[in-house]
Structure 1
């Protein structure tokens, strides 16, 4: 039954933004953005407050006029098209449901406004898609936040838009509901095969739901790719720090080829040449905290591993599935290590340790970048 809800949708092509720019006085919110969002994909615009992601979404929906650039859906330019005439619908964080209407009538509202007389089958199919048919007669105030958000999605989808825009749709939900809704939204997107464009500051949310993520910073796209690609092979220090956590250490290239050797604070580290994006000998060596293991300082270190010696544990936080360590290195930098709790010794603060990891898990970035870029952006600042 669910599959019937959107069978009348036709393939319409990609959403394309060319040279899209938005200025507010002297401030440039979106800076000459070129972006193609493939038809039928779940796409996320990820970034902190002020990065331009919501402004981009508002230009696509028609709620903001671009200063320059064009917007296309398939071969049709919609840059100057009135919002209500664009084949897009938006789901907001605050649901925007009609409190005096029951769930059935909320979902039916768009059809009735367009003059559709017989809405029964379409509404029932849409309620089945969002798994709320049994609550059709209830008012929004009688539903949980997650259920209300599904109503909002159903109300938007029933109008058969070519693109569904999601503006921080899960921000008002608590953690458990948010994770449930991540799964639900992805399921709905797969079933209807529609293009979803999701704006969020939540890295985990973007990685859980999206096929492709564009990490935005200061009105531009820092990097575009699959969640796995962005996490495993960040192209900039901003992406390495903003998308998850990274240990970044400044070094100098001393040997090049298929394997690159780097001298860093008296240690020799290696990484695959294909994972190094430094154009000069100045390089920032990176590794994710969960790729790193700790050994007692007096233990023999494996010869086939990257090793940093001289560390002292400054903090050990047991969080169930793993223990998260902060380790201060001789040059003053604190590095993070996340070790799964599999019966291994837990190091206490003050323990002298060495850090080891597989060289293949190392990445290299342009050493001229700010090593702290993106690291000081927290969830509160991003809302």
Structure 2
């Protein structure tokens, strides 16, 4: 990754971390987090995201490289001298102190005696103004998490680091807190760097996501761009689900690539190919399950011309409320996953039924066929990480986001 953008709130230059046992947790990494951004480091356990965060915080010393906050080199500064604060999954609140005193703690350590208004304003920001005199054990997990954020923000750090802060919450509360954290970040305008293994969490909150794998950044960009235009099979599979179909390139032209698989010809936009296709070469044609339509074979004649299509047989179906998830065996290779919204359900779409799967060619993307098709998928052993035989694809340039002022503690 070669990002030379300057002037960002957080800038990592050639940062790496290798431990005494020769294990490299983070390979040399250049990364710029723009001022005022909500930035997510996303990846499976052991990918290097937490180690990267800890190096920014000063809790780990980098083996190589430099860390800049603004124009200031903080690589060798101890944690307490860096203009950053960290919120951990455990929250680390003082159980014997009231919520007011927990939030005021950082100010009192700095010798500030008049803290009432600042603490009150911060509790109002996290919508806990009525809970100031309670103790942490009297609050829910989500409320405790907001107290931890308020305690970190009251020192006006230049950067707020969040290390899996929602990991201890149940699903419904976690989704609620995702929106709350995004609201808080938007209101205060401070740079947030958030570490998570949860794809939905990263895409819901972050302006920019860096997908990490094996100590490297696989791809960096806005959530929608990563989802719609993955550059590696790891990103395609780790961010949601992808159907990846190995095919032969048969022709190119007019901004379109035609590929052949099991006698069927599929088309995809040349602009959505992560690697330059070569006629006669192999490519992985990818399509997301929710982009695919499914009709019973009796209705095949209604499928419009120009659609990518396969005939197949439903192998399994699962009703999950808002949609039904189908597994369809096709001659194109691995079974295809198809998600159909439960609007007008066709009672004939059951296991064993002959069907046609079809989709708009514009919804197809292309990847290098030399990669592992299973990279990024979750198995009983964890997440498959081997996307390619070589190093990860370099990340793209960091998008520009509005600036926001940060004040060092």
TM-score bin, normalised by smaller chain:
over 0.9
What is aligned with 1:202? Answer: 198
TM superposition shift of 1:148? 0.1
1:186 aligns with 2:182: yes
Q: Report the CA distance shift for 1:380/1:219 in structure 2 as closer, same or farther (over 3 A).
A: closer
Is the contact made by 2:160 and 2:191 (CA closer than 8 Å) also made in structure 1? yes
**Is it true that 1:31 corresponds to 2:32 in the alignment?**
no
TM-score by length of 2: 0.88
Query: Equivalent residue for 1:373?
Result: 375
Alignment of 1:22-171 (within 5 A): 22-24=17-19, 25-171=21-167
Following superposition, the deviation at residue 15 of structure 1 comes to: 0.5
> Which of 5, 11, 14 is the equivalent residue of 2:9?
14
Contact kept in structure 2, 1:93 and 1:171, CA below 8 Å: yes
User: Whose RCO is larger (CA < 8 A, sep 6+)?
Assistant: 2
Q: 1:262 aligns with which of 240, 253, 259?
A: 259
Q: Give the Cα separation in 1 of the matches to 2:106 and 2:240.
A: 40
- Offset of residue 35 of structure 1: 0.4
Q: What CA distance in whole angstroms lies between the structure 1 residues aligned with 2:208 and 2:120?
A: 32
Cα separation, partners in 2 of 1:98 and 1:167, compared to 1, 3 Å: same
- Deviation of the 1:218 alpha carbon: 0.3
Gaps of 5+ in 1: 1-11
Q: Which residue of 1 aligns with 2:400?
A: none
Residue 294 of structure 1: aligned partner:
294
**Cα distance, 1:378 vs structure 2:** 7.5
Q: What TM-score comes out, normalization by structure 1 length?
A: 0.94
Segments of 5+ residues of structure 2 without an aligned counterpart are 1-6, 385-409
SS at structure 1 position matched to 2:95: coil
SS of aligned partner of 1:256 = strand
Query: 2: CA distance between counterparts of 1:208 and 1:379?
Result: 27
* Equivalent residue for 1:233, pick from 229, 236, 241: 229
Is the 8 Å Cα contact of residues 8 and 32 (structure 2) preserved in structure 1? no
Deviation for aligned residue 1:249: 0.3
Query: Aligned-pair distance for 1:264?
Result: 1.5
Match of 1:355 among 354, 357, 370: 357
State how far apart, in whole Å, the 1-side matches of 2:8 and 2:53 are: 18
Report Cα offsets for 1:146-185 as digits up to 9, x if no partner.
Answer: 0000000000000111000000000000011101100100
Distance 2:199 2:170 in 1: 16
Find 2:246's aligned residue among 233, 247, 250.
Answer: 250
Deviations 1:182-236 (A, max 9, x none): 0100000000000000000000000000000000000000000001000011111
1:370 to partner: Cα distance: 0.8
> Contact 2:289–2:338 at 8 Å: present in 1 too?
yes
Q: Distance in 2 between matches of 1:317 and 1:231?
A: 24
- The Cα of 1:265 is off from its aligned counterpart by 2.2
Question: Runs of at least 4 residues of structure 1 off by over 2 A?
Answer: 278-281, 376-382
Contact 1:313 1:350 in 2 (8 A): yes
Q: Deviations over 1:302-361 (max 9, x none)?
A: 22100012x111111111211111111235511100011111314111111111000000
Tell me the residue number matched to 1:330. 331
Give CA-to-partner distance per residue, 1:57-98, whole Å, 9 cap, x none. 000000000000110011000010010000000000011000
Q: Which residue of 1 aligns with 2:404?
A: none
Say what the alpha-carbon RMSD is for the aligned residues.
1.5
